[in-house]
Chain A
């Protein structure tokens, strides 16, 4: 059976030359999904994937992703499956249209085979907040895969598809990529259309690929990036993201000191330090840099994002779609009971925090203050990028933790994103690259200035080769 972890470009070339078929690839994917059921990476398999594969085999195979099966996090609206955001409130939802990102991938011949598990509404760092049960770490099933795109990360690592789509609001692509041992790319804010993706924190949400190697992520980004008339926040793209490795010689890289403190596991620090030595040996200059506001980023995030998501989740009213309480006797009851029954504990906590910080008398002290601290973060990153081409650090402070270890303590769980949230607040692109370890996976995070995703991907390829 075809190994779906092979380089995407190779598989596409074989599909195009006729030595491999889209049906073979999709069949391999569906069989692998069935065999890996115990990991609970997948929520639902597409009814139309095999049919699409047959059409590609019989017709146009010129697409840049011809026949390539992929998995979408279940907060992307897709045809041929339900879309639940792993929440009970959306459990019966069948989207009437499809996300722009999925449309673009399918236009190049890619095939959406299944929907991946996530923390409900992408609220979480372990996938344990899924209303349908957690995903298990692909390397050690007693541990979490990270989150919120934990199903996507596990799916890639387990070879259930060639790549997966995720969303990243505070680290939800990079952190599970790090904990599960795959590549996770968070593009510049606005580079990929979010039309048809269930919104969380609209001023920071981005979508991006999780993949087995940087070149695969690059190819997927190259297909998805660019303006969309249905998403007014989309920005101009660079010419190409499917780039060659960028020589690291002469590059200046800042190692973020705040990410190497006491809260970071020694194994994680050792992996970063080893990477720094390899970078130096390759001719790059790596220096410690302090970004003091980075320590405030998590607090800033847990004001601004709950505020935004409390507004985004106001649409779940039990009337137009989604769960509607059978206990309700009046319209007001429908709202109150449907939302109480349909939202899980973490969604409720976040809606409540967001409502609190936006409420009269607290808006200035919390929301406005956090927006100002966000400005400080933006300034610090801008200043850092005047001196450095890239910033570097660990992707997460720890390796994968045990299932159940943190899910009773919301604040302890939030700390899992401590190395990733700042990048979201400033809108910069970041990528997590796996480093070889004997034990649990560890990710190295490379960060570039806003809009320099191609440069990030070029350097990431070089780093990937270096640490391999």
Chain B
């Protein structure tokens, strides 16, 4: 049974903030469906009473001093910005009112 329909692809793409072109959506649906079908084999595994594993270091609560550091200048941090103005990152307008 197909789990990942083109509509489901649109829903996921919106959550992932990727503006997929319509042309990409059908192929993506087929590929994702194949992958999801593959990973579904885990549904048959008995994991009753098994705790989930988040990480494997065994480290717990790694603390450090909460100190103010200044490793980079404003210029360095803005150096890769696609657009900037007056020492700030510049973004396009937030409201879509055209």
Residues of A bordering B, CB below 8 Å: 92-94, 96-97, 189-190, 203, 229, 232-233, 235, 296, 299-300, 302-303, 310, 314, 317-324, 328-337, 339-340, 343, 348-349, 351-353, 355-357, 359, 365-366, 368-376, 378, 410-411, 414, 426-427, 450
Structural contact, A374 and B17, CB atoms closer than 8 A? no
Structural contact, A339 and B36, CB atoms closer than 8 A? no
Q: Which residue of chain B has its CB nearest to the CB of A190?
A: B57
Structural contact, A359 and B12, CB atoms closer than 8 A? yes
Interface centre among A296, A323, A343, A368, by most B CB within 10 Å?
A296
User: Please, which residues of chain B bring their CB within 8 A of the CB of A339?
Assistant: 16-19
**B51: Cβ under 8 A from any A Cβ:** yes
State the Cβ distance, B55 to closest chain A Cβ, in Å: 5
Structural contact, B42 and A235, CB atoms closer than 8 A? no
Structural contact, A343 and B81, CB atoms closer than 8 A? no
**What's the dominant secondary structure at chain A's contact region?**
helix
Give Cα distance in the complex from A373 to B53, angstroms: 8
Q: Sort chain B's interface into a size bin.
A: 35 or more
Give Cα distance in the complex from A212 to B70, angstroms: 40
In the complex, per-residue mask of B63-98: 1 if CB is within 8 Å of any chain A CB, else 0: 010000001100011011111000001011111101
B residues 10-57 with Cβ under 8 Å of A? Answer: 12-13, 15-21, 24, 28, 31-32, 34-36, 38-43, 45, 47, 50-57
State the Cβ distance, B62 to closest chain A Cβ, in Å: 4
Give Cα distance in the complex from A340 to B43, angstroms: 32
Interface centre among A314, A324, A372, A450, by most B CB within 10 Å?
A372
Q: List 8 A-B contacts (CB under 8 A).
A: A96-B79, A203-B54, A235-B59, A330-B95, A340-B20, A349-B31, A368-B52, A378-B56
Q: Which residue of chain B has its CB nearest to the CB of A360?
A: B15
Tally A-B pairs: CB < 8 A: 175
With A233-B57, A369-B43, A370-B42 known to touch, is A336 a contact of B52 (CB < 8 Å)?
no
State the Cβ distance, A292 to closest chain B Cβ, in Å: 10
Known: A329-B96, A333-B92. 20 other contacts (CB 8 A): A190-B57, A233-B62, A296-B42, A314-B17, A322-B82, A328-B92, A330-B92, A337-B19, A339-B17, A349-B31, A351-B16, A365-B43, A366-B39, A366-B42, A369-B42, A372-B45, A374-B52, A375-B53, A376-B47, A410-B31
User: Please, which residues of chain A bring their CB within 8 A of the CB of B54?
Assistant: 203, 371
Structural contact, A189 and B56, CB atoms closer than 8 A? yes
Give Cα distance in the complex from A299 to B35, angstroms: 9
Give Cα distance in the complex from A328 to B83, angstroms: 13
Structural contact, A353 and B81, CB atoms closer than 8 A? no
Give Cα distance in the complex from A193 to B40, angstroms: 34
User: Please, which residues of chain A bring their CB within 8 A of the CB of B76?
Assistant: 96
Q: Which residue of chain B has its CB nearest to the CB of A232?
A: B62
User: Please, which residues of chain B bring their CB within 8 A of the CB of A233?
Assistant: 55, 57, 59, 62
Q: Which residue of chain B has its CB nearest to the CB of A342?
A: B18
With A299-B42, A320-B80, A324-B83 known to touch, is A372 a contact of B71 (CB < 8 Å)?
no
